[in-house]
């Protein structure tokens, strides 16, 4: 492993986490030439690093904006930060209604079994039980028999209550409403079921031959990619098998919700959803009523990394309320939460990389197998993301991929930050490390020789039209000074792998440095209709935004506020809570809200601005284009005429509603995998520094340095927070997060068995550069930032462990056996 | 019920035999919240101040069962019984250490209880107080069920011999943050008896003592000199301890899982490394 050329500068800046928060754009403390800037706390760094390759024209513009207190480019405080910090933020589990009943679900103890008979009488006989519902209470299927009202985002195959057969451990087959949560659980447990256990299909490799688990078959999708010449062979060929475990989104608050029946036979649901309108439509269809009789109100969301609740939870809750005529509240236990919501797709990947003697990639061959669990969910989409991203952000003239997503009796897989792209990033970055070793090149140099840039082709034949500053990202992380070695700082306390006061032994610790770069598609793919609608209203001194884009903790509401402040110059912006009476804004997933909903808010605000400026322009006898709004004042182009925005707004009530619909995409060809399926791509490079106890195989990540392609930093502090969150989640998958499943049974569905990174496990996360190269088609030129660091972090940490130990490291999470020498 | 003294607590226990005593509640309340336990009554021990400190008695320390992990991790206590302080410092996150108690750790008897291997290596005894008065029981006898806690009895004190010699506790959890032990090793030197005592935690339901390995390594130490051993001896000791405490996979019943063999090999390796490091640190 080669260290960057400036690694002699090991003085570092341990407190840089603080400093970087205040820095706006391209910032490099301690880098050659910017010592002054670093000393002055970053205010001057933007100009001090101007000659550096990462800086762009956007930097100066951003630096000019920083003097402002609100609007775009300012590190505004998160909307929900004060209430969350004070503990008064209302989450879904805090909801209450007078006379409410408690819901509970009865779940399958088997991974695969036939339900011979269900006797609900013992449950109904319990005092306090109001209703016990099974698949028989749902609208029947087309043939008139109960089928559990199956639903799903692409294929409607997941019943909300199992009918006849259960296909994964924990699948609900009955729902209970009672006057006390304990009674409800007791009733759920007292339902008598005669099971006929069936053999569980848990090895995705066997799914092709095994008897179908579902009438739809066992293969959700097969996607080949045929790009270039299959006969080409490189001078150097490396092969590898890689395995990615089952990561759980592990929301810190388990699923919870409240359903209130409406007089018209409909139901109002208060749930922590990230996709209210689609959920409403699917719930209505499960219940067999019109969508306008179901209303979803989005309550406080305690953690979501894209999709959150599974629909079965919401639909059964609605059904219980509709049937009992009482409000029903349901709060899942941690165990149920682990069993029911979708996890990251476990993956098996086989790769063969061909390169010429200079290390230029010639051909990539890959086989990708995703374990989709029992039901389709978004497996087909995740597969397309995995296959299309399978060569990574590199120029590869020939790519041949065969990818499958299959059905098993394992826990359900679904959407989770960086879905598809993460699994392949680990594999192709591991392959590049292997190739670097085979060619005796530094991993960094090998990557530099192959990076893609704007105009290069993806394996799907699509040209990358957005900025792709991959080389700049790599250079930015490589130029950052490395953290000091403990031997150079004998007085500082050294946190060993295994943690404070435990078994770590400094003599057995090896340090490793690893690099990885990756990319992630933004927005829906393959022809998904991406659209959002937003309304902006200004009355007097206050602007309000009505937009059904859910902020699940990503900070979108804060961005919405900044957008309106920027365009209208109004400080006081109210973001309305989200419900389904508002026009749809689509799911908060795939990094789309900043672009799609942000774009809709921008357009609506611009329309309001036009309404505001038109009469003024007429009064000044100039066209409205010659007026600008800045620092709360409307000023003419020559600066002669002007008035405060608030004065211009006096007595006015301005409204505008607008839509944003990014350019359409097309499905990938089922035979060749070719097609313009993506709207845009985001890139990220990470450098991980790890300490490994080579006797015990315990890994501690010391530092992760990030450089990210952000298009434009709308709120730098929020971007830093997203990078920290993504890196920490990626670290979890790399080192500890794994749902242990044996024969389809989830063994330890708790936070003791499923280990999340704590503050001690999380490394120092430094942002080397936020590269602002505006994406001209995106609103404000901004790219989605949440997923990319999570996609790259596991690959970077694996590379660092490889460098420290010399072991191949081919699976995630990294086990002690993979890191002990 | 909130008794203010040990006597009151014992009589309260006698009056309501169904009551469950609660000190820190870190294990108990977790079980209650998960719906695994619905005690008829709780007997709060938080106000029994006499159990929250320690005193000296005949060359031993008499530790109150209500000593918190955070208190034991402080330097004054660490000077007294270093291994116990080290173990207490590794228990959970600070929130748990601030309320979790020594007595609770023993009574819960979780296989991965961090103080248990230390107490086993120190050959500590506990004082159980019931309506008929107190009795002394070895910690290991209590844990193995050889001499269990009787109805109405409270764990009042833990008697730990003061050895005035190096003692260590090492815990492997597989991560940097607080974790349940995968394996832990406590090793104490007893120069007066020229003995090494070692206990391995978390690999079995109770801490295990590799007696043969202890005897063998005690014979390898030059007790009158520098008290050092050859690195090869430390290595061999580690393997000796590991093979004594971690059984071969497949020996227990035919239904051994396919992944049991690598799991056992990894655990054996971990225990071996811990025991080797423990001996190295104790003889440093």
Q: Complex ipTM, two decimals?
A: 0.87
Beta-strand pair A398-406/A219-227: antiparallel
Burial of A192 (0-12, 13-18, 19+ CB in 10 A): exposed
Does any CB of chain A come closer than 8 Å to the CB of residue B34? yes
Minimal-distance CA residue of chain B relative to A696: B270
More confident residue, A325 or A302: A325
Does any CB of chain A come closer than 8 Å to the CB of residue B176? yes
Which of A660, A691, A724 is at the close of a domain? A660
Question: Is A557 inside any structural domain?
Answer: yes
Predicted pLDDT at A7: 37
Instruction: Provide the CATH number for the domain around residue A617.
Output: 3.30.365.10
Nearest to A323, CA basis, from A159, A131, A161, A183 = A131
Taking CB atoms and an 8 Å cutoff, what residues of chain B touch A505?
A: 277
Residues facing residue A574 across a β-bridge: A544
- Contact between B93 and A501 using a beta-carbon 8 Å cutoff: no
Which of A331, A356, A391 is at the close of a domain? A331
Question: Is A361 inside any structural domain?
Answer: no
Does any CB of chain A come closer than 8 Å to the CB of residue B112? no
Return the percentage of chain B with pLDDT > 70, whole number: 96
- Contact between B178 and A760 using a beta-carbon 8 Å cutoff: yes
**What is the distance between the alpha carbons of residues A109 and A410, in angstroms, rounded to a whole number?**
13
Q: How confident is the model at residue A68 (pLDDT cuts 50, 70, 90)?
A: low
pLDDT digit string, tens, across residues B120-170: 999 999 999 988 888 999 999 999 888 888 888 899 999 999 988 899 999
**Range name among A332-336, A340-344, A370-374, A642-646 with the lowest pLDDT average:** A642-646
Please count the structural domains in chain A.
2
Which of A331, A351, A367 is at the close of a domain? A331
In whole numbers, what is the pLDDT of chain A averaged over residues? 86
**What is the distance between the alpha carbons of residues B118 and B125, in angstroms, rounded to a whole number?**
12
- Contact between B170 and A502 using a beta-carbon 8 Å cutoff: yes
Does any CB of chain A come closer than 8 Å to the CB of residue B114? no
pLDDT digit string, tens, across residues A74-113: 888 888 888 888 888 888 888 888 889 999 999 999 999 9
- Structural domain including A167 reads 92-198+255-331
- Contact between B274 and A497 using a beta-carbon 8 Å cutoff: no
A583/chain B closest Cα distance in angstroms: 41
In whole numbers, what is the pLDDT of chain B averaged over residues? 87
Do you know the residue count of chain A? 821
Does any CB of chain A come closer than 8 Å to the CB of residue B38? no
- Contact between B172 and A698 using a beta-carbon 8 Å cutoff: yes
Nearest to A428, CA basis, from A500, A490, A347 = A347
Which strands make up the sheet holding A680-693, listed edge to edge? Answer: A509-522, A680-693, A698-709, A764-771
Residues from A in contact with B at Cβ < 8 Å: 182, 185, 333, 495-503, 505, 695-698, 700, 735-736, 742, 752, 755, 757-761, 815-817, 820
Does any CB of chain A come closer than 8 Å to the CB of residue B227? no
Question: Is A98 inside any structural domain?
Answer: yes
Predicted pLDDT at B75: 92
Q: Which residues contact A664 (CB under 8 A, 6 or more apart)?
A: A527, A529
Q: How confident is the model at residue A144 (pLDDT cuts 50, 70, 90)?
A: confident
In a 13 Å sphere around the CA of B18, the CA atoms on its Cβ side amount to 5
Instruction: Provide the CATH number for the domain around residue A267.
Output: 3.90.1170.50
**What is the distance between the alpha carbons of residues A137 and A159, in angstroms, rounded to a whole number?**
12
Smallest Cβ distance to B174: which of A182, A698, A757? A698
Minimal-distance CA residue of chain B relative to A755: B179
Decide if pLDDT at A338 tops 60.
yes
Predicted pLDDT at B249: 61
Nearest to A784, CA basis, from A689, A679, A705, A648 = A679
- Contact between B180 and A752 using a beta-carbon 8 Å cutoff: yes
Predicted pLDDT at A733: 94
Question: Is A567 inside any structural domain?
Answer: yes
Decide if pLDDT at B222 tops 90.
no
Residue with tokens 């680990």: A426
Residues facing residue B63 across a β-bridge: B54, B158
pLDDT digit string, tens, across residues A251-276: 888 888 999 999 888 899 999 888 89
Smallest Cβ distance to A499: which of B178, B180, B270? B178
Question: Is A186 inside any structural domain?
Answer: yes
Q: How far is the first Cα of chain A from the last one, in angstroms, to the nearest whole number?
A: 17
- Contact between B177 and A816 using a beta-carbon 8 Å cutoff: no
Classify residue A171 by its DSSP letter. Answer: -
Does any CB of chain A come closer than 8 Å to the CB of residue B173? yes
pLDDT digit string, tens, across residues B60-104: 999 999 999 999 999 999 999 999 999 999 998 889 999 999 999
Smallest Cβ distance to B176: which of A182, A697, A760? A760
A513/chain B closest Cα distance in angstroms: 18
**What is the distance between the alpha carbons of residues A315 and A138, in angstroms, rounded to a whole number?**
10
Question: Is residue A604 within a helix (H) or strand (E), and if so which, with residue range?
Answer: helix A593-620
**What is the distance between the alpha carbons of residues A311 and A293, in angstroms, rounded to a whole number?**
17
Predicted pLDDT at A431: 95
Which residues in chain B (80-99) have CB-CB distances under 8 A to chain A? 86, 89-90, 93
Does any CB of chain A come closer than 8 Å to the CB of residue B180? yes
Interface test with A, best of B92, B108, B173, B175 (most A CBs within 10 A): B175
Minimal-distance CA residue of chain A relative to B174: A698
Q: Number of CB pairs < 8 Å for A and B?
A: 73
All domains of chain B in start order, with CATH: 170-282 (3.30.390.50)
Report the greatest alpha carbon distance in chain B.
Answer: 59
Interface test with B, best of A187, A337, A503, A814 (most B CBs within 10 A): A503
- Contact between A503 and B172 using a beta-carbon 8 Å cutoff: yes
**What is the distance between the alpha carbons of residues A665 and A677, in angstroms, rounded to a whole number?**
5
B274/chain A closest Cα distance in angstroms: 7
**What is the distance between the alpha carbons of residues A691 and A332, in angstroms, rounded to a whole number?**
38
Residue with tokens 């090869």: B232
Burial of A146 (0-12, 13-18, 19+ CB in 10 A): middle
- Contact between A736 and B269 using a beta-carbon 8 Å cutoff: no
Tokens of B78: 């660490």
Classify residue A705 by its DSSP letter. Answer: E
Question: Is A358 inside any structural domain?
Answer: no
Question: Is A325 inside any structural domain?
Answer: yes
pLDDT digit string, tens, across residues A157-199: 899 999 999 999 999 999 999 999 989 999 999 999 999 999 9
Beta-strand pair A192-197/A361-371: unpaired
Predicted pLDDT at A288: 87
Minimal-distance CA residue of chain A relative to B175: A498
Tokens of A551: 């902020």
pLDDT digit string, tens, across residues A587-634: 888 888 889 999 999 999 999 998 888 888 888 888 888 888 887 888
Q: What residue ranges in A356-420 does DSSP mark as E strands? A: 361-371, 398-406
Are residues A189 and A181 in contact, defined by beta-carbon separation less than 8 angstroms? no
Minimal-distance CA residue of chain A relative to B83: A501
Residues facing residue A758 across a β-bridge: none
Question: Is A785 inside any structural domain?
Answer: no
- Contact between A760 and B266 using a beta-carbon 8 Å cutoff: no
Decide if pLDDT at A54 tops 50.
no
A543/chain B closest Cα distance in angstroms: 44
The packing angle between helices A421-439 and A379-388, to 10°, is 20
Minimal-distance CA residue of chain A relative to B33: A333
Does any CB of chain A come closer than 8 Å to the CB of residue B175? yes
- Contact between A755 and B274 using a beta-carbon 8 Å cutoff: no
Q: Which residues contact A592 (CB under 8 A, 6 or more apart)?
A: A522, A523, A524, A530, A586, A784
Smallest Cβ distance to B90: which of A502, A759, A761? A502
Nearest to B204, CA basis, from B261, B252, B167 = B252
Residue with tokens 């086993």: B120
Smallest Cβ distance to A758: which of B35, B178, B257? B178
Classify residue A139 by its DSSP letter. Answer: P
Predicted pLDDT at B259: 61
pLDDT digit string, tens, across residues A27-52: 333 333 333 333 333 333 333 333 33
Smallest Cβ distance to A755: which of B172, B175, B257? B175
Burial annotation A290-311 (CB, 10 A radius, 16+ → b, else e): eeebbbbbbbbbbebbbbbbbb
pLDDT digit string, tens, across residues A374-418: 999 899 999 999 999 999 999 999 999 999 999 999 999 999 888
């Amino acid at each position: 492993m080669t260290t960057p050329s400036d690694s002699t500068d090991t003085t570092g800046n341990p407190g840089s986490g603080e400093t970087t928060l205040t820095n706006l754009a391209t910032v490099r403390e301690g880098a050659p030439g910017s010592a002054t800037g670093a000393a002055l706390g970053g205010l001057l760094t933007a100009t001090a690093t101007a000659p550096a390759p990462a800086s762009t024209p956007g930097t100066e513009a951003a630096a000019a904006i920083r003097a402002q207190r609100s609007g775009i480019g300012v590190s505004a405080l998160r909307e929900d930060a004060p209430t969350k910090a004070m503990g008064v933020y209302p989450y879904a589990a805090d909801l209450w209604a007078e006379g409410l009943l408690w819901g509970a679900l009865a779940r399958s103890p088997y991974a695969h079994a036939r339900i011979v008979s269900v006797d609900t009488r013992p449950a109904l006989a319990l005092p306090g039980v109001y209703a016990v519902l099974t698949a028989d209470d749902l609208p029947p299927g087309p043939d008139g028999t109960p089928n559990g009202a199956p639903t799903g985002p692409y294929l409607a195959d997941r019943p909300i209550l199992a009918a006849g057969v259960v296909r994964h451990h924990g699948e609900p087959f009955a729902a209970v409403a009672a006057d006390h949560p304990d009674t409800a659980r007791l009733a759920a447990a007292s339902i008598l079921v005669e099971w006929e256990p069936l053999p569980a299909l848990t090895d995705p490799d066997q799914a092709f031959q095994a008897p179908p688990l579902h009438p739809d078959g066992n293969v959700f999708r097969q996607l080949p990619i045929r790009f270039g010449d299959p006969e080409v062979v490189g001078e150097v060929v490396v092969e590898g098998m890689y395995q990615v475990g089952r990561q759980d989104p592990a929301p810190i608050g388990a699923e919870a919700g409240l359903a209130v029946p409406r007089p018209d036979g409909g139901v109002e649901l208060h749930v922590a959803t990230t996709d209210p309108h689609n959920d409403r439509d699917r719930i209505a269809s499960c219940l067999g009523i019109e969508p306008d009789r179901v209303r979803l109100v989005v309550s406080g969301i305690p953690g979501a990394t894209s999709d959150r609740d599974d629909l079965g939870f919401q639909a059964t809750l609605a059904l219980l309320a509709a049937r009992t005529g009482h409000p029903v509240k349901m709060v899942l236990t941690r165990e149920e939460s682990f069993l029911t919501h979708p996890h990251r797709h476990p993956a098996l990947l086989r790769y063969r990389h061909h390169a010429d003697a200079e290390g230029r990639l010639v051909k990539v061959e890959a086989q990708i197998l995703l374990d989709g669990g029992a039901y389709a969910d978004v497996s087909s989409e995740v597969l397309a993301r995995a296959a299309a991203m399978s060569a990574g952000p590199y120029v590869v003239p020939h790519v041949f991929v065969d990818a499958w997503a299959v059905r098993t009796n394992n826990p359900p897989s679904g959407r989770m930050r960086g879905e598809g792209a993460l699994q392949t990033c680990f594999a192709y970055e591991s392959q590049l490390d292997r190739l670097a070793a085979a060619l005796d090149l530094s991993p960094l140099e090998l990557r530099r020789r192959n990076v893609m840039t704007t105009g290069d082709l993806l394996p799907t034949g699509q040209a990358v039209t957005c900025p792709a500053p991959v080389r700049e990202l790599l250079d930015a992380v490589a130029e950052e000074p490395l953290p000091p070695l403990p031997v150079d700082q004998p007085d500082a306390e050294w946190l060993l792998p295994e943690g404070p006061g435990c078994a770590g032994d400094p003599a057995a610790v090896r340090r490793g440095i690893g690099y990885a770069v990756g990319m992630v598609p933004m927005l829906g793919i393959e022809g998904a209709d991406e659209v959002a609608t937003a309304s902006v209203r200004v009355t007097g001194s206050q602007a309000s935004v009505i937009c059904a884009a859910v902020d699940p903790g990503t900070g979108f509401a804060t961005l919405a506020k900044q957008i309106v402040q920027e365009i209208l110059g109004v400080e006081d912006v109210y973001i309305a809570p989200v419900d389904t009476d508002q026009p749809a804004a689509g799911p908060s997933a795939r990094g789309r809200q900043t672009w799609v909903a942000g774009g809709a808010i921008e357009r609506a605000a611009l329309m309001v601005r036009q309404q505001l400026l038109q009469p003024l322009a007429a009064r000044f006898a100039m066209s409205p284009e010659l007026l600008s709004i800045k620092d709360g004042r409307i000023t003419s182009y020559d600066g002669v005429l002007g008035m405060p925005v608030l004065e211009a707004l006096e007595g006015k009530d301005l409204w505008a509603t607008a839509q944003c619909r990014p350019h359409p995409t097309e499905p990938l060809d089922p035979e060749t995998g070719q097609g313009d399926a993506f709207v845009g791509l985001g890139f990220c490079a990470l450098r991980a520094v790890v300490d490994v106890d080579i006797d015990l195989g315990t890994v501690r990540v010391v530092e992760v340095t990030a450089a990210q392609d952000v298009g434009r930093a709308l709120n730098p502090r929020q971007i830093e927070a997203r990078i920290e969150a993504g890196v920490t989640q990626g670290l979890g998958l790399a080192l500890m997060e794994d749902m242990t499943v044996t024969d389809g049974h989830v063994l330890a569905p708790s936070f003791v068995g499923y280990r999340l990174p704590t503050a001690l496990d999380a490394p120092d996360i430094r942002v080397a550069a936020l590269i602002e190269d505006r994406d001209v088609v995106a609103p404000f030129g901004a790219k989605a930032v949440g997923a990319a660091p999570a996609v790259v972090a596991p690959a970077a940490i694996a590379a660092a462990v490889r460098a420290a130990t010399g072991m191949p490291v081919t699976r995630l999470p990294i086990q002690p056996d993979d890191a002990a020498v | 019920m909130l008794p203010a003294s040990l006597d009151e607590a014992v009589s309260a226990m006698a009056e309501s035999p169904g009551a469950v005593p609660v000190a820190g509640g870190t294990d108990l309340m977790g079980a209650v919240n998960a719906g695994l336990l619905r005690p008829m009554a709780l007997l709060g021990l938080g106000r029994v101040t006499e159990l929250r400190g320690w005193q000296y008695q005949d060359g031993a320390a008499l530790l109150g069962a209500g000593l918190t992990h955070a208190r034991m991790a402080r330097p004054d206590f660490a000077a007294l019984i270093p291994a116990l302080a080290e173990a207490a410092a590794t228990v959970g996150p600070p929130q748990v250490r601030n309320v979790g108690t020594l007595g609770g750790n023993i009574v819960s008897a979780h296989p991965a209880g961090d103080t248990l291997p230390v107490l086993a290596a120190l050959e500590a005894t506990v004082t159980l107080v019931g309506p008929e008065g107190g009795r002394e029981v070895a910690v290991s006898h209590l844990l193995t069920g050889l001499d269990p806690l009787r109805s109405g009895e409270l764990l009042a004190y833990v008697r730990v011999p003061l050895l005035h010699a190096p003692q260590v506790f090492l815990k492997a959890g597989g991560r940097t943050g607080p974790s349940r032990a995968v394996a832990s090793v406590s090793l104490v030197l007893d120069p007066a008896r020229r003995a090494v005592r070692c206990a391995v935690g978390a690999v079995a339901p109770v801490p295990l003592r590799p007696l043969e390995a202890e005897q063998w390594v005690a014979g390898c130490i030059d007790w009158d000199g520098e008290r050092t051993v050859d690195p090869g001896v430390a290595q061999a000791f580690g393997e000796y301890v590991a093979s004594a405490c971690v059984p071969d996979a497949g020996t227990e019943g035919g239904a051994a899982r396919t992944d049991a063999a690598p799991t056992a090999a990894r655990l054996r390796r971990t225990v071996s490394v811990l025991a080797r490091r423990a001996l190295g640190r104790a003889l440093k």
